[in-house]
């Protein structure tokens, strides 16, 4: 079933929102998303307008969330930085899914390629995510696109593993055999019969990867090996604020909250989706 | 069983070879000449040519690959450009804080997660269970460096309960060095406890529903004994697996935490290596860590044999 058919499925939304936390997370996440997208309209100030007189101004007054070392409005910077952080998270979830689906389908469908692809996936997953991402960004260079590429390489094996496992099951079902008997091409069967039936575990995993990628991006930016430091992201804001942590801890506090709330919402949404899409797994965790 | 162990060893060797291959490929993904990249913009073409020669970059790729794998299997991971020393020696010199940090934080994570996980499963649905689950979820959502910075700011700098940063200086004795690891280990331990807690709870829930637990209870065994002797023993396997899996999390966390607390370990080394474009060090760290991960997961699998007598291969 396709993603849109999924939402029409009777009982899906009821099941998804059965837990209050999932509904709240979805609303909070949509609010964050809307605020970040509408940043040019709702930001109280120009995020790069400096004001020496107001450097490190405490939260309150004209600066709701304070001002940084250059007197720039923290709230406005948070909104604009969110555009980059969320784009990276979403981009990684999409690219990693596409790459993972291709490798997973190939491994699950062609027995001869299963061994090699699965071993490569094992080897890729032996590298801790931040470490592999650091190495890849170091080699590729730090730009938003390269961070998305690096993190997609890091997380694609997770999708590939799930897609492979599900494909192995679906491949043996009678309707695949029937399609083969009717003369459908392998590519058509892979996309129309197999992929359509494993959309839900992919969506669940992609939601988690969205969350992990945002955490990883923040980590890379904090280490100074992520996107160009002049591009504000929630991670680079923390990195910049670090040297003023004793006088102005709020410079670090607010971006940290922004990351944590977004990631928490995504994880809860992922949990809710998993429960609603597959009641069988729900019991296990 | 011997056959199973041999099979797993061979499988491990294949994955390690692939790890080496991936590490080899990554450095060659660099756009342009890696030697020029490593030396930075000020280098003259002659210097780049000299470095290319020294790194063997003028050889055909298959020859480079074979000598790279051959050297790595003999324990030679190349020479650091910055330190002009073998990568293995550079890594070993910084291994101590990282190893202790990982070890302490794993112990702290277990101390937090296992008892709470067991109790949460035992009192499923109670307020304590729900609090434990939501706190674990929250802990997994907060960036570890942010927790580190906050703890450092308030518990170390302001209250002075812990050393704020560093590793005690070059001549510090063992206990001073370990003292500097306490706060970082707590931070990393909290972050890593989340996953272990969820798994402990889940596997205890599975086991508590089993027939033999009911039997043990009906025999009049005390609850304490039922939970610890019967249930925990059987829930141990998934818990051991997840401990093996948290190794990756632990290393990722250590890289960032060492940077927060300015601890001169392998994590700090690899980040500095990126900033210095010292590719052999980055490559060497990747290889050492990934190989360790593969090895630890083999070990946890073999531990099954010892813990659960039902498992026969």
Q: Write out residues 156-185 of B within 8 Å (CB-CB) of A.
A: 157
B14 interfaces chain A, CB cutoff of 8 Å: yes
Please choose, from the candidates A239, A276, A237, the residue with its C-alpha nearest in 3D space to the C-alpha of residue A47: A237
Interchain proximity B29–A267, CB inside 8 Å:
no
Contact (Cβ atoms closer than 8 angstroms) between residue B186 and residue B282: no
How much is the pTM? 0.86
Length, in residues, of chain B: 313
Give the containing element (helix H, strand E) for A231.
none
Q: Region B77-86: what's the mean pLDDT?
A: 83
Model pLDDT for residues A90-128, shown as the tens digit of each residue: 999 999 999 999 999 998 888 888 888 888 888 888 888
Q: Write out residues 27-56 of A within 8 Å (CB-CB) of B.
A: none
The pLDDT assigned to A8 comes to 54
The pLDDT assigned to B212 comes to 76
Q: Region B132-137: what's the mean pLDDT?
A: 86
Q: Which residues of B touch A139 (CB under 8 A)?
A: 26-27, 29-30, 279
Length, in residues, of chain A: 285
The pLDDT assigned to A1 comes to 43
The pLDDT assigned to A285 comes to 37
Domain ranges of chain A: 75-271
Architecture of domain B91-307: Orthogonal Bundle (1.10)
> Which residue on chain B is closest to A263 by alpha carbon?
B141
* Token pair listed for B198: 């969820």
Q: How many CB atoms lie within 10 A of CB A1?
A: 12
Model pLDDT for residues A30-47, shown as the tens digit of each residue: 999 988 888 788 777 777
Distance CA A21, CA A244 (A): 35
The pLDDT assigned to A282 comes to 42
Give the containing element (helix H, strand E) for A84.
helix A74-109
Of A20 and A4, the structure prediction assigns the larger pLDDT to A20
Model pLDDT for residues B171-207, shown as the tens digit of each residue: 778 787 777 888 899 999 988 888 888 888 888 887 7
Q: Could you say which of B15, B150, B275 has the minimum Cβ distance to residue A122?
A: B15
Q: Region A222-240: what's the mean pLDDT?
A: 85
Model pLDDT for residues A53-79, shown as the tens digit of each residue: 777 667 776 666 677 777 687 788 888
* Token pair listed for B197: 């807690």
3-state DSSP: chain A helix, strand, coil percent, rounded to 5?
75, 0, 25
* Token pair listed for B223: 């609850």
Checking if the pLDDT of A86 tops 90, the result is yes
Please choose, from the candidates A214, A179, A208, A209, the residue with its C-alpha nearest in 3D space to the C-alpha of residue A195: A179
Q: How many CB atoms lie within 10 A of CB A180?
A: 14
Distance of CA B136 to the CA centre of its chain: 19
Can you tell me which residue has the tokens 């965790």? A285
pLDDT winner (highest mean) among A231-235, A249-253, A254-258: A254-258
Checking if the pLDDT of A153 tops 90, the result is yes
A120 interfaces chain B, CB cutoff of 8 Å: yes
Distance of CA B285 to the CA centre of its chain: 12
Model pLDDT for residues B35-65, shown as the tens digit of each residue: 777 777 777 777 778 777 777 777 788 888 8
Distance CA B97, CA B75 (A): 22
Checking if the pLDDT of A48 tops 60, the result is yes
The pLDDT assigned to A284 comes to 39
- pLDDT classification of A10: cutoffs 50, 70, 90: low
Outline which parts of chain B fall under CATH 1.10.3720.10: 91-307
First-to-final CA distance of chain A: 25
* Token pair listed for A267: 């994880």
Among B143, B274, B281, the strongest candidate for a mutation testing the A interface, having the largest count of A CBs within 10 A, is B143
Please choose, from the candidates B16, B218, B2, B192, the residue with its C-alpha nearest in 3D space to the C-alpha of residue B102: B192
Of A199 and B231, the structure prediction assigns the larger pLDDT to A199
Name, in order, each residue with C-beta under 8 angstroms of B149's C-beta and a sequence gap of 6 or more.
A238, A242, A245, A252, A256, B260
The pLDDT assigned to A95 comes to 96
- Per-residue three-class SS string for B2-54: HHHHHHHHHHHHHHHHHHHHHHHHHHHCCCCCHHHHHHCCCCCHHHHHHHHHH
Task: Please work out, in degrees rounded to the nearest 5, the angle formed at the alpha carbon of residue B252 by the alpha carbons of A254 and B84.
Answer: 115
ipTM over 0.90: no
First-to-final CA distance of chain B: 6
CA diameter of chain A = 77
Of the CA atoms within 13 Å of residue B303, those in its CB half-sphere come to: 15
B101 interfaces chain A, CB cutoff of 8 Å: no
Distance CA A281, CA A79 (A): 36
Q: Which CATH superfamily is domain A75-271 in?
A: MetI-like (1.10.3720.10)
Question: Mean pLDDT in chain A?
Answer: 83
């Amino acid at each position: 079933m396709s993603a849109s058919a999924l939402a029409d499925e009777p009982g899906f939304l009821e099941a998804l929102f059965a837990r209050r936390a999932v509904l709240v997370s979805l609303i909070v996440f949509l609010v964050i998303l809307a605020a970040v997208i509408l940043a040019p309209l709702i930001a109280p100030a120009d995020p790069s307008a400096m004001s020496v007189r107001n450097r490190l101004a405490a939260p309150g007054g004209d600066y709701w969330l304070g001002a940084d070392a250059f007197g720039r409005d923290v709230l406005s910077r948070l909104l604009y930085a969110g555009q980059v952080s969320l784009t990276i998270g979403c981009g990684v979830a999409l690219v990693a899914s596409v790459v993972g689906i291709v490798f997973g389908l190939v491994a699950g469908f062609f027995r001869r390629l299963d061994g090699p692809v699965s071993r490569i996936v094992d080897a890729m997953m032996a590298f801790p995510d931040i470490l592999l991402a650091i190495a890849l960004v170091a080699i590729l260079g730090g730009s938003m696109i390269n961070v998305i590429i690096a993190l997609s390489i890091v997380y694609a094996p997770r999708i590939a593993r799930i897609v492979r496992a599900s494909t192995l099951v679906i491949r043996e079902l009678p309707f695949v055999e029937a399609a083969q008997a009717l003369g459908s091409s392998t590519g058509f069967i892979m996309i129309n019969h197999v992929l359509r039936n494993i959309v839900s575990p992919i969506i669940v995993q992609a939601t988690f990867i969205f969350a992990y990628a945002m955490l990883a991006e923040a980590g890379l930016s904090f280490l100074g090996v992520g996107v160009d430091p002049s591009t504000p992201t929630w991670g680079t804001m923390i990195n910049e604020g670090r040297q003023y942590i004793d006088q102005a801890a709020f410079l670090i506090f607010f971006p940290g909250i922004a990351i944590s709330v977004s990631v928490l919402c995504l994880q809860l949404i992922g949990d809710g989706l998993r429960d609603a899409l597959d009641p069988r797994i729900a019991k296990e965790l | 069983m011997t056959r199973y162990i041999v099979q797993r060893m061979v499988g491990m060797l294949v994955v390690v070879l692939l790890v080496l291959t991936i590490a080899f490929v990554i450095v060659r993904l660099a756009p342009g000449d890696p030697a020029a990249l490593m030396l930075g913009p000020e280098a003259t073409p002659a210097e780049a040519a000299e470095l290319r020669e020294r790194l063997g970059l003028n050889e055909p790729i298959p020859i480079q690959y074979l000598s790279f794998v051959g050297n790595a299997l003999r324990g030679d991971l190349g020479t650091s450009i910055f330190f002009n020393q073998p990568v293995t020696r550079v890594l070993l010199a910084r291994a101590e804080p990282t190893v202790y940090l990982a070890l302490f934080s794993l112990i702290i994570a277990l101390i937090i997660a296992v008892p709470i996980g067991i109790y949460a499963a035992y009192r499923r649905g109670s307020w304590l269970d729900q609090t434990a689950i939501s706190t674990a979820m929250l802990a997994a959502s907060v960036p570890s460096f942010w927790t580190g910075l906050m703890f450092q700011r308030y518990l170390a700098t302001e209250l002075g309960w812990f050393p704020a940063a560093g590793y005690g200086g070059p001549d510090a004795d063992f206990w001073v060095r370990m003292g500097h690891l306490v706060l970082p280990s707590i931070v990393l331990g909290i972050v890593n406890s989340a996953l272990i807690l969820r798994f402990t709870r889940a596997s205890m829930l599975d086991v508590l529903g089993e027939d033999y637990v009911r039997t043990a209870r009906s025999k009049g065994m005390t609850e304490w004994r039922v939970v610890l002797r019967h249930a925990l023993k059987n829930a141990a396997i998934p818990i051991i697996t997840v401990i093996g899996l948290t190794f990756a999390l632990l290393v990722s966390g250590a890289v960032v935490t060492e940077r927060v607390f300015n601890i001169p370990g392998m994590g700090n080394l690899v980040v500095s290596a990126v900033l210095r474009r010292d590719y052999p060090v980055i490559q060497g760290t990747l290889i050492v860590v990934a190989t360790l991960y593969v090895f630890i997961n083999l070990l946890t699998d073999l531990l099954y044999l010892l813990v659960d007598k039902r498992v026969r291969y």
